[in-house]
Amino acid sequence: MNTVTSRDGTRIAFTRTGEGPAMILVDGAMCVRGAGPSDALAAELASAFTVYTYDRRGRGESTDARHPDTGGTAEEWARASVEAEVDDLVALVGHAGGNAHVFGHSSGAILALEASLRGAGITGLALFEPPPAGGDADAELLERLRELVRAGRRGEAVEAFQAAIGLPQEMIAGMRESPFRAVLEGIAPTLAYDTAVANGGDPARYAGVTAPVLVLDSEASPGLLRTACRDMAEAVPGAVRRSLPGGFHDVEAGVMGPALIEFFGKAG
């Protein structure tokens, strides 16, 4: 197992494959290595890049020096949590040689933007459906998730998050018997991290990003997500927006991979 140590001592587990310029893939919520879109995408990209996939803190084989029961107000906790996850990505960029392209999926897109603002050596950014800017509802969800995790009610935390992102109740109920349910409950504390990331994702914040940026969405995603992509592309100077054929909040690796190779090939 390959690991890199983040600033607070958290060990971030990663897999490296392929050969070429470094590219780091940042997952969204409810994903770990081996159970999410990154592995298939890495296989598509490995002919052109050295691709890094990793378990975000508190997931899979990565540790976590923080936890949703950490004290402080919800706002203070959220700000520190986002900073910690950005530290993790910065550490990976450093391990990759100090410069890397980054592809961020959903909340991972916001982490990529935050790392770029910090001057993390990101040479190009591709963002797939960054979540809409947060508001009161996200702030309430964050506190609710922290309460449920503190009480050991991880299944309820998973379902609260699923409902908040728009999954139908019948789908949520059907997933209770899924073999992957135990994994979701295991990483339930990290759902508060994703909520904190989304809550801070105001597009205007990223007007200072100077790296080349591609904002991607799926043609089959709902209007709310596609509008958020439009807003982000308009807010980031020089950003390019592109829609790809796909499903709900998802584009197959065989479609996404060539689009990324084309963009990052031009980005240098």
Q: What is the pLDDT of residue 69?
A: 62
Q: What integer is the mean pLDDT of 112-128? A: 95
- Long-range CB contacts (< 8 A, 24+ apart) of 219-224? 219/243, 219/244, 219/245, 219/246, 220/245, 220/246, 220/247, 220/248, 221/129, 221/246, 221/248, 221/249, 222/166, 222/248, 224/132
Residue 66's pLDDT is 81
> In order of start, what are the domains of the chain with their CATH numbers?
2-133+201-267 (3.40.50.1820), 136-191 (no CATH)
- Considering only residues 136 and 215, tell me which one the structure prediction assigns the higher pLDDT: 215
Q: Render pLDDT for 22-77 as a digit per residue (tens, 0 to 9).
A: 999 999 999 999 888 999 999 999 999 999 999 999 999 999 998 656 666 777 88
